[in-house]
Amino acid sequence: MRILILSSIWPETTERLQREFDCLVSINPADGEKHRLLADAEVVIVRSPVRLDRAALESARNLKLIIRAGAGLDAIDVPLAKSRGVVVIAVPLSADSVAEHSIGLLLSVCRRIPQLNHALRQGRWEKHSGLGIQLSGKTLGLVGFGRIGIRTAELAKAFRMNLLAHDRSPEKSHKRAAAERLAVRFLPLDDLFAGSDFILIQTPLDETTRGLVDGHRLALMKATAVLVNVGRGGVVDERSLYDALRGGRLAGAAMDVFQSEPLSVSGQLGNHPLLSLDNFVATPHVAAQTIDAQRCVGEDVAKIVHAFSSGQSLVGLGIVI
C-alpha cells in the first residue's frame, strides 16, 4: 500500500509508517509536485494548509483513503472525493489543548498579559496603566458546542462563569446531556452575541459558517465584550473586527486562526492591521500544538492506516465523513 504524507505529523508515527509500508514524505509541496506524487498514492495524510482540491484529486487516480490529521475539512473537496469512492476520515486534535488555549487567549486579553510583559521588558512598570477584567461571574458564549466547546465549558465552570451556547445540532443526546450537566443554555446566535460578556468561536469553517461573525453580529456585542476565535479564520470578518476594536465598540479580541495564513499583508509577516491594535492578541494557529495533542493524533493516524490496510472498520478511530 502506497502512503503519501504531505504534512508534518508526530515524528515517531512517520518513522513507523516508513518502516512498515511503502511510505513517501513530502511536506507542503508545490502544486505540480503534489499532483505528481498523488498519482501513485493509495492513502494520503494531510493537515492544513495542504489543499486537496479538484485538481489534486483528479491527479490521484489510485487514491482510496484521505486521513485529515485534525478536524477542519475546508481544504478538501469532500464531495468529489466521496463521489469517487475515496474514504475521508478526520482525526480531531485534543479538545483539552484547544480549550486550554481558548481560555489562555481570553485571559491574555482580559488581563493584558502580553502588553504588560512587553512593558516590563522595555523597562516600564505599568502597574497603574489600566484595569483588567475578571472572568468570574461573567457570561461566556460558546459558538460551537462539540468536543472543544464542551471541554471549554468544563474549564469555564472553574471560573464560575455563566454559560451560553449556539450549536447547529443541539438536539444530539451527548450535547443535551453536557448542557444539562454544565448548566449551559442554548440560544439563537444573535441573542448569544447580545447577551455574552465573552464569546469563543470554536466552530469549523463551511458555507454555513463563512463570515458568520460579521459587522452586524459584532455590533450586537457589548462594548465591554471580548471575542476569541480558535475555530477557523474565515468565520470572522477581520475588517469588521478591526473597525470595531479600533472604534472602541469592542473591548478586545484574540485570534489563533486567520482568513489567510501565515498572517500577512502583501506577503509581509506582521503587516496586518489587527496586529497594530493594543487590544488584540494573536497566536499563529497553535491551539493544538502541544506535545500531548500531536502524539495522540500521530498514534490515531497509525491505527487508521493499519486498520485500513487489513480491511478492518474505521468506525471509532476518527470521524468518517
Q: Which residues are catalytic?
A: 232, 261, 285
Distance, in Å, from the CA atom of 50 to the CA atom of 53, rounded to the nearest integer, reads 9
Per-residue CA distances from 139 to 67, 86, 169, 186 (Å): 37, 43, 22, 13
Q: In one letter, which amino acid is 31?
A: D
Distance, in Å, from the CA atom of 231 to the CA atom of 202, rounded to the nearest integer, reads 4
Distance, in Å, from the CA atom of 205 to the CA atom of 173, rounded to the nearest integer, reads 23
Give φ, ψ of 200 to 5 degrees: -115, 120
Give φ, ψ of 266 to 5 degrees: 55, 35
Q: For residue 141, what are the β-bridge partners?
A: 164, 199
Distance, in Å, from the CA atom of 147 to the CA atom of 190, rounded to the nearest integer, reads 23
